Amino acid sequence: MRPLVEPHLRDLLPYVPGKPIEETEREFGVTNIAKLASNENCLGPSPRATAAVQAALAKGHLYPDAGAFALKARIAHLHDVAPAQIVIGCGTNELITHLCRALLGEGDALLNAWPSFVCYRIGARIVGAPERTVPLDAALNYDLAALADVAAADPSVKLVFLANPNNPIGACFGRDALEAFVARVPDHVVIVLDEAYAEYVERPDYEDAVALIRRRPRTLFLRTFSKIHGLAAYRIGYAVGDVEIMQILDQMRDAFNVSALAQVAALAALDDVEHIERTRAHNRAERPRLVTALEGLGLAVTPSEANFVLATLPESLPLDVPALNLALLQRALIVRPVANYGLPRSVRITVGTQTENDRLLAALAEIVGAAGSRT
């Protein structure tokens, strides 16, 4: 009998999601869980989005608008681009995978920093394309100069993803660094800026992706409704950019890839300025408080411009991440170990509500304190 599938499909990289609340409840016999593992919006979904969805539930039997007419018009207005420059995905995850499928043909390679969002790597594996990997620098920032070196030197490089802020780090590079990178990347390389956490960024010199896509063909950026808008349950995100690529992407997606409720929710969320501002203000206040307290417990925290931080256990502490994670789960706290990102002594912690952060910090003080007393 002939082989069932191409060999590379036998070796796909599974995505390791944050532990679901229900599963953790079942496994550890706990309730009142604080999930600080998936960078969801701790203030909940956009209330305007929820209200709009509520009003649309009676139409649950009708297929979505396959062309997402209303939502595309709204996003086009937001970024001052044409609707044809927009593709809506079942989360940006779908768009990342389709970009790999569309752009990584025979002989093409993905250029990827590591660690960065694992879905770029998963996408390359799904199409069986090789990955050229450039490590982050010692401070866990993108090494954009080294990435540009590879893009310029290796003609197989066809596609590069830059997560800014980067995930699972939180680090964010500025406009000048991006400009210098872009200037050195050959024109045939497609540059994708993944801006999942853009709305949280405070630095004034954050990239202007719209200006960049106007100037450079083969450039696009991704935005999601899963983060600041609080709509992760719905699965919706979008790409904006090069019309030629967008046309291909739009035909590659299944016609009804985005649910009607997600379209309704996203449309309302974009107008929910109160929710966006409230979330920003919360993050602006709570993240520094969390960072200071974590550092006070002896953990190293990487500077972050997102709604999460990367915290690293000192080598001197006789506590490893699996033990820390278990102790937190037993206290109904879910954070994200990132050993699969090559960071075995780190956890990614979402900025929670004040109460959630207090609970986490109290638990950490207890766990880290007990471990420290063993030294």
Q: Which residues pair with 76 in a beta bridge?
A: none
Spatial separation of the C-alpha atoms in residues 219 and 2, rounded to whole Å: 41
C-beta of 15: minimal distance to a second copy in Å? 4
Q: Are 290 and 308 spatial neighbours (Cβ–Cβ below 8 Å)?
A: no
Considering only 66, 152, 281, 365, the residue that binds a second copy (CB under 8 A) is: 66
Phi first, then psi: give them for residue 324, nearest 5 degrees. Answer: -60, -45
Q: Of the candidates 129, 245, 276, 334, which one interacts with a second copy according to CB under 8 A? A: 245
Question: Would you say 231 or 363 has its CB closer to a second copy?
Answer: 231
Q: How far is the CB of 52 from a second copy (least distance, A)?
A: 10
| H-helix segments, the chain | 21-28, 47-56, 69-79, 91-103, 118-127, 144-153, 175-184, 209-215, 243-252, 260-270, 273-296, 321-330, 354-372
Which range touches a second copy (CB under 8 A), out of 73-81, 146-154, 166-174, 245-253? 245-253
Residue 64: CB minimum distance to a second copy, A? 6
CA-CA distance, 60 to 245, in Å (whole number)? 32
Only one residue has tokens 């960071």, namely: 343
183 near a second copy, rule: CB under 8 A: no
Q: Does 31 bind a second copy (CB under 8 A)?
A: no
Which of 300, 314, 120, 304 shows the shortest CA–CA distance to 200?
A: 304
- Sequence-distant (≥ 6) Cβ neighbours of residue 366 within 8 angstroms: none
Binding-site size, a second copy (CB under 8 A):
80
288: contact with a second copy by CB under 8 A: no
Q: Report in angstroms how near the CB of residue 33 gets to a second copy at its nearest.
A: 11
Binding a second copy (rule: CB under 8 A), the pick from 48, 75, 85, 91 is: 91
Question: Is residue 77 packed enough to be buried (19+ CB in 10 Å), middle (13-18) or exposed (0-12)?
Answer: exposed
* Least distance from a second copy to the Cβ atom of residue 3, Å: 8
CA separation for the pair 166, 137 (Å, rounded): 13
Minimum distance from CB of 32 to a second copy (Å)?
A: 14
Q: Is position 54 an interface residue for a second copy (rule: CB under 8 A)? A: yes
45 touches a second copy (CB under 8 A):
yes
Task: Pick one of 24, 93, 112, 307: the residue that binds a second copy (CB under 8 A).
Answer: 93
Instruction: Write each residue from 95 to 134 as x if it is in contact with a second copy (CB under 8 A), else as -, in one continuous string.
Output: --x---xxx-xx------------x------x--------
Q: How far is the CB of 371 from a second copy (least distance, A)?
A: 30
Q: Is 151 helix (H, G, I), strand (E, B) or coil?
A: helix
Alpha-carbon span 113 to 120, nearest angstrom: 10
Stretch touching a second copy by CB under 8 A, among 182-190, 196-204, 283-291, 322-330? 182-190
52 and 264 in contact (C-beta within 8 Å)?
Answer: yes
Of the candidates 112, 166, 226, 304, which one interacts with a second copy according to CB under 8 A? 226
Report the residue number, 85 or 257, with the smaller CB distance to a second copy.
Answer: 257
Choose the stretch contacting a second copy; rule: CB under 8 A; options: 137-145, 193-201, 243-251, 349-357.
Answer: 243-251
The residues with which 311 forms a beta bridge, in sequence order, are: 301, 347
